[in-house]
Structure 1
């Protein structure tokens, strides 16, 4: 038994198990020769006295901390919460713990978070980059031997594995659905918080062929909206692109309210993430618009509430848990020594047609 007020040590384990300190260390560290009977005795002793190995000391021997850093853009978002759950579930299977930090989509905060995780000597990091064009700090982490796997965002400026969905194609299919229903005035609610992406019209014309890795998720989904119009031969009305500038529900409500209060309001509205979907739907309710009679509505992310409202919302569904799980699997492979070329893993989305979309009303004569 251990003395009251004192944490048990490896010497206590060895004494209770009736072995030397060196043997107890080998048994707990899974190195060297130790019989199964001795290993079981040492394990029983650790449980009897409540001994917990010193992770710092162990890491000095193994050069591993068995921890993964997760840099999350917004943990309050159901999307990122689901992704983190996927990472955690896979990491736990492999005996790894998670250190989670939140950046609020701020690059400066992200740099501090990466520095913190490096100080904690995590074995690798799963990161949702705040800006795909400002990733020098992630490259530095890689150069120092810490593998990085990106989620949700692709960066052409970082040679790293990435697990996400094809944002461009997902939104292109959603908008094509509305165009096939006869809608010609389709609004889109997008945050476009990065200032250089505020001038989104640079995506028109030759910009429609921009590489996905140069764009943040919101701009990539707007690109899909523009490509769908081009494929259908329908001109884009720039006034129907509603930029919130912030990743907040209140900003999305205000932006959608202005768009839908117009005398020439769009006949359909598309949102590009779960925050924009909540804001857009709230504006629809405030203005007492009927779905799909007054407006067809297509959301993004299959959250529980989208099937509880009437009508249930047509939307794009992402494989949220799988994104996190696949990212963790890839990172664990890197930690184990995989040095193959970085992989871009694009998981399929689903388009769920429900009651919030309908054919466009005939044009007035």
Structure 2
């Protein structure tokens, strides 16, 4: 009995021949291992909790694919939770995962909220890796891109096309949205934080380098990351006395909303307004015109996050690592010269 338990549970010393005999007997009897009992003996569940902000967003669905493929290769199972950018849902999901004794967590945290509870979970021994968004001061690995540089390069691309009036459509939590309205967008990377703030700061710095003073009325949030939020934000931008001639939406769902608003306003892209989006989702090549985007290696980001988590689960005690992957500007047909100069 002891030999069979060790063979089926994957712990202790068992010969290869004994493992094979036990496996054949288990198959014949239709045996299913008791995962909970095994985890109590080994201290492992071989389960990873993944907490994402919005699974409908192409970025997150691609990241999950990268995580799941890497997990499968490592003999791990992935359990997924979606927060809809809601901090209470995030708390609840993480609490359930910890109670179910997952081996570790991959978390894309919601915007602009206190992270004391995550710090406590890490201190209690549950490894955590942050996906896409970093939290300053939290001792956890993270995997993502250089958001500042990516937005900086996208803005420089629009400037090179002749645009000086460039708008930004971002989604951010309501409690930090006021940070977008500081004169000159000073400190926006610190106040807004995470991807939205860092990308807005990259946009700001590209304008400043070109001798253009950033306008706070050109940086608009519809209050969230849904397509309808971006539609409202874009219409707000285009209703200005001097509307932007180009728009930079800061993720793929927001990009969809921008294009929808442009169509509903009876405008044409890029004749009336140019657009550069974030994330090379499948739809970006099929719309008219095909969308120029900042492409991220999303599946690789997910796979790297899983690999870093497994390293922590296996006992790595090195200092937190913030891994940054490269982006690519994919040029298509959604950018042209400003209408006044076309």
What TM-score does the superposition give when structure 2 sets the normalisation length? Answer: 0.94
Measured after TM superposition, the shift of residue 362 of structure 1 is 4.7
- Aligned with 1:195: secondary structure? coil
The equivalent residue for 1:7 is: none
1:55 matches 2:32: no
The equivalent residue for 2:201 is: 223
Moved more, 22-31 or 226-235: 22-31
Tell me how far apart the structure 2 counterparts of residues 363 and 35 of structure 1 sit (CA, whole Å): 78
Given candidates 55, 59, 64, the residue that maps to 2:44 is: 64
Tell me how far apart the structure 1 counterparts of residues 49 and 241 of structure 2 sit (CA, whole Å): 50
Shift in alpha-carbon separation, 1:253–1:95, aligned structure 2, 3 A: same
- Aligned with 1:327: secondary structure? helix
Given candidates 279, 298, 318, the residue that maps to 2:257 is: 279
1:34 matches 2:17: no
1:346 matches 2:324: yes
Question: Which stretches in structure 2 are left out of the alignment for 5+ residues?
Answer: none
1:108 matches 2:91: no
Given candidates 173, 178, 183, the residue that maps to 2:153 is: 173
Tell me how far apart the structure 2 counterparts of residues 122 and 105 of structure 1 sit (CA, whole Å): 22
What TM-score does the superposition give when structure 1 sets the normalisation length? Answer: 0.89
The equivalent residue for 1:155 is: 135
Moved more, 46-55 or 271-280: 46-55
- Aligned with 2:176: secondary structure? helix
Measured after TM superposition, the shift of residue 133 of structure 1 is 4.7
Contact in 2 for aligned 1:135/1:157 (Cα 8 Å): no
Contact in 2 for aligned 1:175/1:228 (Cα 8 Å): yes
The equivalent residue for 2:180 is: 200
The equivalent residue for 1:4 is: none
- Deviation sequence 1:130-157 (CA, Å, 0-9, x none): 1355111111111111010001111113
Contact in 2 for aligned 1:125/1:331 (Cα 8 Å): yes
Question: Which stretches in structure 1 are left out of the alignment for 5+ residues?
Answer: 1-20
Contact in 2 for aligned 1:315/1:353 (Cα 8 Å): yes
Tell me how far apart the structure 2 counterparts of residues 202 and 305 of structure 1 sit (CA, whole Å): 35
Contact in 1 for aligned 2:9/2:33 (Cα 8 Å): no
- Aligned with 1:204: secondary structure? helix
The equivalent residue for 1:73 is: 53
Cα RMSD, aligned residues only: 1.9
Given candidates 77, 80, 83, the residue that maps to 1:97 is: 77
Measured after TM superposition, the shift of residue 45 of structure 1 is 1.3
The equivalent residue for 2:278 is: 300
Moved more, 105-114 or 339-348: 105-114
Tell me how far apart the structure 1 counterparts of residues 88 and 254 of structure 2 sit (CA, whole Å): 24
Contact in 2 for aligned 1:72/1:103 (Cα 8 Å): yes
The equivalent residue for 1:270 is: 248
- Deviation sequence 1:184-232 (CA, Å, 0-9, x none): 1111111222422323133737526x559x7032122111111110111
Tell me how far apart the structure 2 counterparts of residues 297 and 61 of structure 1 sit (CA, whole Å): 56
Alignment of 1:187-266 (within 5 A): 187-202=167-182, 204=184, 207=187, 210=189, 215-262=193-240, 264-266=242-244
Structure whose CA Rg is larger: 1
Tell me how far apart the structure 2 counterparts of residues 188 and 132 of structure 1 sit (CA, whole Å): 19
- Deviation sequence 1:293-312 (CA, Å, 0-9, x none): 21111111111111112221
Contact in 2 for aligned 1:133/1:155 (Cα 8 Å): no
Measured after TM superposition, the shift of residue 121 of structure 1 is 0.5
- Deviation sequence 1:92-113 (CA, Å, 0-9, x none): 1111111211111111221121
Moved more, 339-348 or 70-79: 70-79
Shift in alpha-carbon separation, 1:38–1:268, aligned structure 2, 3 A: same
Contact in 2 for aligned 1:133/1:157 (Cα 8 Å): no
Shift in alpha-carbon separation, 1:291–1:193, aligned structure 2, 3 A: same
Measured after TM superposition, the shift of residue 263 of structure 1 is 5.2
- Deviation sequence 1:251-282 (CA, Å, 0-9, x none): 21122123224453211111101111010000
Given candidates 304, 308, 316, the residue that maps to 2:294 is: 316
